[in-house]
Structure 1
Amino acid sequence: MAFIDPRTEFAFKRIFGSAKSADLIVSLLNALLYESQPVIESTTVRDPYLTVQLPGVQHTPLTVRAKVNGGTACVIELQVLNLPTLGKRVLYNAAKSYGFQISREEVQRDINPLVALNILDFTMFEQQPEVISRFTLQEVEKGFEYPNNELALVFVELPKFNKKLAELETMADFWIYFIQNAAKLETIPEPLRQVPEMRQAFALAREETLNREEFDILQQQLFFISDQRRSLTFGREEGLKEGVEMGKVQGVREGVEQGRELGIQEGIQVGRDEGYKEGIRQGKNQGIQVGRQEGIQQGQLGIIQRLLTRRFGKLEPDVQAKLKALSGEQLEALAEAAWDFITDLELREWLNTNS
């Protein structure tokens, strides 16, 4: 049999947000938030899976009110795309859910603590090895908690979970493994089959139990996620190409302007002779002044010629002759001035003035 992917919003809400899922959501929250301790006794789901929206529309988090010493609200979000706005959206949804506990009809109602549980299908905190990260309000220097610390953010980063089936120990392990791998399985693994909540979760995840409308919603979400991931990848690749090209131009400019301190950057790698190559190697550590003066000056000339050729096209013979006659200091001055030239007439005027 095939199982639907819990990493899609529809599947996640079907498994954990339906009327049949009361025991499952309690088990999931206790496992991920309270180290499998029976802190949460019961829950009320305010946004059942049937309200899943179509792809391309801002999704609605699964909102759960949990009975914990008087009541705690919990917002569960499943994030599959690492978008630039993720951090702000997490804070916005948590703050909105915290504030919306009171309506005009319930002005006397107490505001319960809120935990925003975010299950991520990507790595958010690159430098931290932990699968689960918890954030609360704390004083910056001393680290003590805010007196009414009723707003918490919890992140579960699925890619950091690398345990094999035989290594699963806790209910948190079981649930993370289920969310991460259910869509890849054809049968219920034996260790998970022994846990009643796991058997129930797999039963709700059976693809054959979906009607046509539910199956279409699930497929649309999968297509949307795939398209969005391709768009993000394409955008990063295009940005990288543009950055490389900009880096080449900026590297030439900085190599001329700051060569004494930083040396010639990697973009200037091809020397015309041994003196030019020696000037580049020594320029990385000691600056352009160390090395054979003739080679360094020839290297500077080559840089200037390429720069001017890119700006104005092929240089006339008389212009090339005047360039070759310039001293090292004049070449540096020309490199600085060339960025302000708009036409080759300004180049000729500068050469006539400074030659």
Structure 2
Amino acid sequence: MSELLDPRNDFLFKRIFGSEENRDVLLAFLNTTFIEAGKPPLTEIILLNPYTEKDTPRDKQSILDIRGKTADGELINVEMQLFNKYDTEKRTMFYWSKLYSGQLQEGQSYKVLKKCVTINILNYSLLPNDQYHNVFHLREDRSGIPLIEDMELHFLELPKLDNHAVPVKSGGLVNWLLFLKGVDKSNWEVLMMNEPVLKKAMDTLEFLSQDAEARRLYEDRQKYLHDEASMIEGALAEGERKKAVQMAAELLSLGVDISIIAKASGLSESKIEALKKHN
């Protein structure tokens, strides 16, 4: 039996949650997310961009998100982010605004705009608290009254599930997130007992893990995601290095001792000596 692939890979995630035949899986996942946030469950979800053969890692720049519409016309966007691309908050706002404004055709009234919900599943910690599920709305600072309910942002942070290493018997969102995080397969039976629709997600994952073409496409996407993450990390490191050099140059101009500059900037004394000679 082939080793199970990682459902956090966005290509695989969309195959499991964003295909027409698995629309019930997406609906069950969304409902556990909304119920935990104190909201009523959905009755149905219409996929606006269901998985097709065009959704392959060959189009490396593609964003493999899932967009759906509720029975009331509200729009929902779900995205899996395996690596931290940074500026997550601004990126979220940008894509939410495109989803919201994209509803309006020329000449239409603003009244036609429906609520848009963004759900980001993050394989990294983002927010400065211990909650694995955070929900944001537009509220007045002091009174807490809502300005409008059209914006709703969910952040599901998988690393914060460390306190939930085993399935929760009462069911709920934790079990779905444990599946995505790759909980030991020995716990799958308990997960299925608590969340019956999860079995279909598990069956899909097992099927894709044994399919040669799906595995090849998965590996292509995984390589691209790793390369992209490495480039981002490299760019950030280069940015930090330039800041350190600039700091060292400014301290040198003030006559600060080289050993002190080395401690403050993180640069080696030999690097600072070379910088001093260069200047």
Work out whether the TM-score is over 0.5. Answer: yes
Q: Equivalences for 1:220-239 in 2 at 5 Å?
A: 220-239=220-239
Q: Which has the higher strand share?
A: 2
Contact 1:119/1:156 (CA < 8 Å) preserved in 2? yes
Q: Which residue identity does 2:192 align to in structure 1? A: R
1:52 to 55, 62, 65: 55
Q: Equivalences for 1:154-303 in 2 at 5 Å?
A: 154-162=154-162, 163-165=164-166, 169-181=170-182, 185-186=184-185, 189-194=188-193, 195-208=195-208, 211-254=211-254, 256=256, 267=260
Q: Kindly tell me: are residues 268 and 10 of structure 1, through their superposed partners in 2, closer, same or farther at Cα, counting changes over 3 Å?
A: closer
- After TM superposition, give the deviation of residue 265 of structure 1 in Å: 8.8
Q: Kindly tell me: are residues 161 and 266 of structure 1, through their superposed partners in 2, closer, same or farther at Cα, counting changes over 3 Å?
A: farther
1:72 corresponds to: 74
2:66 corresponds to: 62
Q: Kindly tell me: are residues 267 and 45 of structure 1, through their superposed partners in 2, closer, same or farther at Cα, counting changes over 3 Å?
A: same
Q: Equivalences for 1:333-344 in 2 at 5 Å?
A: none
Q: Equivalences for 1:39-118 in 2 at 5 Å?
A: 39-50=41-52, 51-54=54-57, 56-67=60-71, 70-103=72-105, 110-118=112-120
CA distance in 2, matches of 1:106, 1:309: 61
Q: Which residue identity does 1:78 align to in structure 2? A: M
| SS of corresponding position for 1:136 | strand
Q: Which residue identity does 1:171 align to in structure 2? A: G
CA distance in 1, matches of 2:204, 2:220: 19
2:277 corresponds to: 311
Contact 2:14/2:65 (CA < 8 Å) preserved in 1? no
Mark the runs of 5 or more structure 2 residues left unpaired by the alignment: 264-271
- After TM superposition, give the deviation of residue 221 of structure 1 in Å: 0.8
| SS of corresponding position for 2:232 | helix
Q: Kindly tell me: are residues 38 and 22 of structure 1, through their superposed partners in 2, closer, same or farther at Cα, counting changes over 3 Å?
A: farther
* TM norm structure 2: 0.79
Contact 1:135/1:153 (CA < 8 Å) preserved in 2? yes
1:5 corresponds to: 6
CA distance in 1, matches of 2:101, 2:159: 32
2:151 corresponds to: 151
Contact 2:4/2:209 (CA < 8 Å) preserved in 1? no
CA distance in 1, matches of 2:108, 2:216: 38
CA distance in 2, matches of 1:237, 1:95: 30
CA distance in 2, matches of 1:209, 1:122: 24
CA distance in 2, matches of 1:6, 1:164: 17
| SS of corresponding position for 1:267 | helix
Two-structure CA RMSD over aligned residues (Å) = 3.4
- Structure of higher CA gyration radius: 1
| SS of corresponding position for 2:29 | helix
| SS of corresponding position for 1:149 | strand
Contact 1:8/1:222 (CA < 8 Å) preserved in 2? yes
- After TM superposition, give the deviation of residue 131 of structure 1 in Å: 1.0
Q: Which has the higher helix share?
A: 1
Contact 2:74/2:116 (CA < 8 Å) preserved in 1? yes
CA distance in 1, matches of 2:5, 2:108: 39
| SS of corresponding position for 2:197 | helix
* TM norm structure 1: 0.64
Contact 1:121/1:158 (CA < 8 Å) preserved in 2? yes
Aligned: 1:23 with 2:16: no
- After TM superposition, give the deviation of residue 175 of structure 1 in Å: 0.7
- After TM superposition, give the deviation of residue 174 of structure 1 in Å: 0.4
Q: Kindly tell me: are residues 214 and 308 of structure 1, through their superposed partners in 2, closer, same or farther at Cα, counting changes over 3 Å?
A: closer
CA distance in 2, matches of 1:107, 1:115: 21
Q: Which residue identity does 2:134 align to in structure 1? A: S
CA distance in 1, matches of 2:201, 2:144: 39
Contact 2:115/2:151 (CA < 8 Å) preserved in 1? yes
CA distance in 1, matches of 2:106, 2:244: 55
Contact 1:248/1:267 (CA < 8 Å) preserved in 2? no
Partner deviation per Cα, 1:181-204 (whole Å, 9 max, x = no partner): 16xx45562311313112111001
CA distance in 2, matches of 1:63, 1:308: 54
CA distance in 1, matches of 2:212, 2:107: 39
Instruction: Count how many residue pairs are aligned between Structure 1 and Structure 2.
Output: 265
- Please list every run of at least 4 consecutive aligned residues from structure 1 whose deviation after the TM superposition is greater than 6 angstroms: 104-109, 306-309
What is the percentage of aligned positions where both structures have the same residue? 21
CA distance in 1, matches of 2:107, 2:4: 42
